[in-house]
Amino acid sequence: MREFLSQNSVEYEERNIAKETRWRESLKELTGEAVVPVLLVGGNQVIGLDERRMAEALGLRTFAADSNRDGLAAPAELEALPEKVDDATAAALTHFVRRLQREMEYNAAKESAPYRDGQHDGMRFARDAVLRILMGTYEHEGMVIERGKP
């Protein structure tokens, strides 16, 4: 978000409400919200770090409605899964992958910690791996990317 604001020459003041009680109280008074981040943009309140909402509030470039920039939209394979499955394992995996998708969408909508902290990369990988298993397209050799040790 900082990069987005800088690219668009937007001046802002960043405050860490965890360190200053007066800033937390000021935020609550201004916005009625006790969650962060909350931004006041041109008199409009923008909750979270969503570039689309920020751009709209600033009157800047717009994003395509279905940009799926975070890869959170449900893949076609998920939509193609049957509602009822006779096999208990397949039924459990189907339920799991749908629940994982809902959790990702919820976290993104609320701009909650798993979304902000990049945990959706792992959630996306798990979702896509389970979908490949259910669709019969999982190839374990091609799925693993070797990484160097940190």
pLDDT interval class at 149 (50, 70, 90): low
Domain boundaries, the chain: 2-58, 76-143
pLDDT at site 36: 57
Taking the CB of residue 43, how many other CB atoms lie within 10 A of it?
6
Contact 138, 125 (CB under 8 A): no
Mean pLDDT of the chain: 72
| Mean predicted confidence (pLDDT) in 21-36 | 71
Phi-psi domain of 144 (left: phi exceeds 0; alpha: psi -120 through 50; beta: other): beta
Task: For residues 98 and 102, give the distance between their C-alpha atoms in angstroms, rounded to a whole number.
Answer: 6
Report the pLDDT value the prediction gives residue 51, as an integer from 0 to 100: 66
Q: Is the pLDDT of residue 147 over 60?
A: no
Per-residue pLDDT, 66:
41
- By CB neighbour count within 10 A (0-12 exposed, 13-18 middle, 19+ buried), where does 35 fall? middle
pLDDT recorded at residue 59: 75
Q: Name the residue type at position 98.
A: R
Per-residue pLDDT at 26 = 79
- Please give the residue that has the higher pLDDT: either 72 or 97: 97
CB atoms inside a 10 Å sphere around CB 18: 9
Q: What confidence tens digit (pLDDT) does each residue in 2-17 have? A: 777 777 787 777 777 7
Using an 8 Å Cβ cutoff, are 17 and 23 in contact?
yes
SS3 label, residue 114: helix
pLDDT above 90 covers a percentage of the chain that reads: 0
Q: Under CATH, domain 2-58 is a member of which superfamily?
A: Glutaredoxin (3.40.30.10)
What digits encode the pLDDT tens for the residues 78-134? 888 888 888 888 889 998 888 888 887 777 766 666 666 666 677 777 888 888 888
